[in-house]
Amino acid sequence: MKLRIHCAFPQAIIQEPLLYLIGKNFDVIPNVRGASISEEEGEMELELEGEKDELDKVLNYLKEKGVRVETREEG
């Protein structure tokens, strides 16, 4: 299953390696489709591929970290 999401990162966690941690800790394949990072904020379009339960775990993880997540229509 593929899921496309838009993530908005608050300043406090811009420096955290969230994409690395997603790939390492969850059974999903992350693919960056676009990104814009500044000192104040970060935004990223991600495509995640994996089983639904793993995708749900990633979404919950991101939200717990303070990332605003919006799901997009699947490509």
Report d(CA 71, CA 44) in Å as an integer: 12
- Predicted TM-score (pTM) of the model is 0.89
Query: What residue ranges define each of the domains in the chain, with the CATH number in brackets?
Result: 2-72 (3.30.70.260)
Q: Are 1 and 49 in contact (CB under 8 A)?
A: yes
**56, two tokens:** 């749900």
pLDDT digits (tens, 9 = 90+) for 8-63: 998 899 889 999 999 999 999 999 999 998 888 899 999 999 999 999 999 999 99
Residue 28 phi, psi (nearest 5)? -135, 160
Partner residues linked to 71 by β-bridges? 5
Q: What is the pLDDT of residue 35?
A: 95
Helix (H) or strand (E) run with residue 62 in it: helix 52-64
